[in-house]
Amino acid sequence: MCLEGMLLAMGNPLLDISAVVGSELLEKYGMKPNDAILAEKKHMPLYSELTANYQVDYTAGGSSQNSVRVAQWILGQPNVCAYMGCVGKDEYSEILAKKARDDGVMVLYQYTTERPTGTCAVLVTANRTQRSLCANLAAAECFTIDHLQNPDVQKLLANADYYYSSSFFLTVSLETILEVAQIALKRDKLFIMNLSAPFLCSIFSSQQMEAFPYVDILFGNDEEAKTFAREQDLGTEDVKEIALKMTTLPKQNPSRPRIVVITQGHLPVILANGRFPFFPVLMGLKERLELTKLLWITRCLNKRLLFVVEGKTTEYPVDLVPADKVVDTNGAGDAFVGGFLGQLIKGESYDKCIKCALWTASQIIQRSGCTFEGKATFS
């Protein structure tokens, strides 16, 4: 079965600079454990301090790029996943492209001469169980929507079945996210997003909510979900309730329910499957939209909505990796998404998608950075 170009992802390609450090370095730069921030002027010395004073590892990074690399590992077939983002015309971008291609990713970078390739400091603390990210986007911030006119990108936009973006990309090109999301809607294909970081759910909440109605599948962790709930006045701190309420927020494509997947560290993963109007299988998108309008009018008049499948949540326990085997939790969330996407592309059930996501994350945390080797053995 040919799966080439089935998924098109977008994001901020970065070279990860990872090191095990003490909590005092976090304090020095005003950073928190298990958080992700964008670099400010005060953070610029951090990168040279890391390379000068610590043993560092370099890996191809950026949240979305990590996820598609892992998805490719699960799929075991090259060029199923394509990735676009902006990089500089420099040595770092050559390294990034080579590493991504070596992992089977179809690389569709936009290049700029204005700024160098972006980097991300990955500070691993608390006996290697926590990681803090500080991203200097640099060239990644130079992405422009006209890259969508690239013939190779156009081909993928017209043929992909899945489109994925992290919320980090909201800080760079909301218009690109919305354009791709609208293409997914018109083609009745899946648009998938990740909450990505608590600060994105607050500082960039307005941009996030512009894209939210297009989201068919949403990923996030418990802290991101709680921040989102506070910003959107969902009225609860209970993660299961938040996930279910997320599925009920306005949605452009009524042909399928919204799926929300929330991780909670060592606690069970929550999958919320939203309620949706029941449609005949052969009914086209136009007819579904018309029926949805009719059902909505019925709800307004009669205070109830007929013919719906109620939303529900399912919990998936996490098999803990022994502490002495945990090397680096950096990339665990990205790997979780990658494992999920790999099975989703294969057409597997959400149950299997979650189980693969958990397995993949458990493998990644036993290595430094979001890295892997050999053939994926999940079955």
| Ordered mean pLDDT values, 10 residues apiece, the chain (379 residues) | 90 92 96 90 94 89 96 97 97 90 96 95 85 93 98 97 98 98 98 97 97 98 98 96 96 93 96 68 47 44 42 93 87 95 97 98 90 91
The whole-number pLDDT of residue 59 equals: 84
3-state helix, strand, coil in the chain (%, to 5): 45, 20, 35
Specify the amino acid at residue 176: T
Q: In 3D, which of 146, 255, 256, 260 has the Cα closest to residue 212?
A: 260
Residues 6+ apart with CB under 8 A from 275: 247, 248, 257, 308, 309, 310, 311
Architecture in CATH of 7-13+61-117+138-275+310-364: 3-Layer(aba) Sandwich (3.40)
Find out whether 237 and 229 touch, Cβ atoms under 8 Å. Answer: yes
Element (H, E) at 356: helix 350-364
pLDDT value at position 1? Answer: 65
Work out the widest C-alpha separation in the chain, in whole angstroms: 68
CA distances from 333 to 56, 109, 166, 303 (A): 21, 23, 11, 40
Write down the pLDDT at residue 276.
59
* Beta pairing class for 308-309 and 276-277: antiparallel
Q: Which helix H or strand E contains 63, and what residues bound it?
A: helix 63-75
- How many Cα atoms sit within 13 Å of 292 on the Cβ side? 18
Take residue 245 and report the two structure tokens written for it. 């309420």
Cβ atoms of residues 80 and 104 within 8 Å: yes
Pairing of strands 259-264, 217-221: parallel
Known catalytic residues are: 334
The residues near 370 (Cβ < 8 Å, ≥ 6 apart) are 16, 59, 61, 66, 69, 70, 330, 331, 334, 335, 364
CB atoms within 10 A of CB 306: 10
pLDDT at position 277: 52
The reported pLDDT for the residue numbered 113 is: 97
Domain ranges of the chain: 7-13+61-117+138-275+310-364
Q: Give pLDDT, residue 264.
A: 96
pLDDT at 330: 74
Q: Which of 229, 172, 219, 163 shows the shortest CA–CA distance to 196?
A: 219
Q: Which two tokens stand for residue 135?
A: 């991203």
The pLDDT assigned to 286 comes to: 53
Q: Hey, how many other C-beta atoms are within 10 angstroms of the C-beta on 341?
A: 31
- pLDDT at position 379: 84
Measured distance CA(371)–CA(61) in Å, rounded: 10
Give every strand in the sheet of 259-264, ordered side by side: 106-107, 81-84, 7-10, 162-166, 190-194, 217-221, 259-264, 267-273, 312-316
How distant is the alpha carbon of residue 334 from its chain centre?
Answer: 7
